[in-house]
């Protein structure tokens, strides 16, 4: 299979502690129907045998390159290293424990080039660990934005907080193809999640603010392996402050785009309601009742969390978030704890 020396697309693979899965990931990349690409393996001080595996792939395939970076404990360093090292006019990302459909990049690059896009997004299948048979589909709304105003309305505002029921928003960098020049000329970098919560969404908001044409297609090309011990499923001391910083930083971008303060406030509050409710649920799932309730109360106090809400804010979130927030607002933590336990049992069936 011949690849160009100057590839159109760079596929950047973040590699850390993925010895068990990297061969499956690489096989999905090597079987792509799109051929004008390079694979850039970015390994970050993995404690397993990943470095040797990456080096072997680079030795075997001339279109595979292997670079290393310092371990930042997240995706920021590997992705920023990839942005600096990429040879492609376009760039996309994949984590080494995930895999992709063989038609992913031919379809997405076809969209990019046919529609002269700055970015295209797809969606994914989600599965737990090795169980591909029970994968579920994440559905997103198909949109084709042909100017800045449409991008703000149909992409940036939903990434701040999606208020439209019935579909999800994909903010994952692994489900997108970007123009490398926009990233570099805009001096964009992936921010560590301990600084700004949900670094993928924040990157996409800033990238879209520099874009003129964008598209989202409801095609599940990406296979996302859900690992309940992963970074995204762990609560750290920096999690809640980083959520607040997301609101602050996304608000700055929104103001530069001329979005009203009322809209910014509504999006930021509803996003925080959803995110903090998810944090509370994880804490209640992981800790005994008394310890969990004390922990949440302490976090509310330490972070000066405003538990009030308006009718409009409450109307914009799903029923379970509404219920979570009302119970927290009135200090009914024991009923909330019991509700979480029942809900967790129901969704695990």
Given this model, what pLDDT does residue 231 score?
Answer: 43
CA-angle at 107, arms to 103 and 113, nearest 5°: 150
Given this model, what pLDDT does residue 253 score?
Answer: 97
**Maximum CA extent, the chain:** 64
Averages of pLDDT over runs of 10 residues in the chain (349 residues) are 74 95 97 97 94 97 95 91 97 97 98 97 88 81 96 96 85 96 97 93 98 97 77 68 95 97 97 93 91 94 94 93 94 93 69
CA atoms of 230 and 227, how far apart (whole Å): 5
Which sign does the torsion angle of CA 225, 168, 199, 309 carry? negative
| Cβ contacts of 337-342, under 8 Å, gap ≥ 24 | 337/284, 337/289, 337/292, 337/293, 340/280, 340/281, 340/284, 340/285, 341/284, 341/285
Q: In sequence order, what are the residues at sequence separation of 6 or more whose Cβ sits closer than 8 angstroms to the Cβ of residue 305?
A: 240, 276, 299
The structural domains of the chain, with segments of one domain joined by +, span 9-231, 260-347
CATH numeric code, 9-231: 3.90.550.10
Pairing of strands 136-137, 119-128: antiparallel
CA atoms of 200 and 205, how far apart (whole Å): 9
The partner residues of 92 in beta bridges, in order of sequence, read: 11
């Amino acid at each position: 299979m011949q690849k160009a020396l100057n590839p159109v697309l760079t596929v950047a693979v973040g590699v850390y502690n993925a010895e068990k899965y990297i061969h499956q990931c690489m096989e999905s990349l090597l079987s792509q129907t799109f051929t004008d690409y390079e694979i850039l393996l970015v390994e970050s001080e993995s404690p397993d045998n990943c470095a040797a595996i990456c080096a072997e792939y680079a030795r075997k395939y001339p279109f595979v390159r292997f670079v290393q970076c310092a371990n930042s404990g997240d995706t920021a360093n590997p992705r920023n290293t990839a942005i600096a090292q990429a040879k492609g006019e376009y760039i996309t990302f994949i984590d080494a424990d995930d895999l992709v459909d063989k038609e992913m990049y031919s379809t997405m690059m076809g969209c990019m080039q046919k529609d002269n896009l700055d970015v295209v997004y797809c969606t994914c299948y989600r599965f737990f660990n090795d169980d591909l048979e029970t994968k579920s589909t994440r559905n997103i709304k198909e949109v084709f934005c042909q100017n800045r105003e449409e991008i703000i309305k149909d992409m940036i505002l939903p990434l701040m907080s999606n208020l439209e029921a019935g579909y999800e928003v994909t903010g994952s960098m692994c489900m997108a193809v970007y123009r490398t020049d926009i990233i570099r000329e805009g001096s964009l970098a992936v921010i560590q999640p301990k600084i700004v919560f949900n670094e993928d969404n924040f990157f996409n908001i800033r990238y879209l603010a520099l874009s003129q044409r964008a598209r989202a297609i409801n095609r599940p090309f990406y296979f996302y392996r859900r690992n309940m011990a992963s970074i995204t499923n762990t609560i750290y001391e920096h999690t809640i402050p980083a959520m607040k910083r997301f609101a602050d930083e996304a608000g700055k971008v929104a103001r530069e785009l001329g979005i009203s303060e009322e809209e910014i406030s509504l999006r930021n509050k509803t996003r925080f309601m959803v995110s903090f409710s998810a944090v509370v649920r994880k804490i209640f799932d992981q800790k005994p009742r008394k310890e969990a309730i004390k922990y949440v109360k302490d976090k509310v106090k330490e972070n000066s969390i405003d538990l009030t809400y308006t009718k409009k804010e409450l109307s914009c979130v799903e029923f379970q978030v509404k219920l979570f927030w009302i119970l927290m607002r009135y200090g009914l933590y024991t009923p909330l704890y019991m509700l979480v336990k029942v809900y967790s049992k129901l969704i695990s069936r």
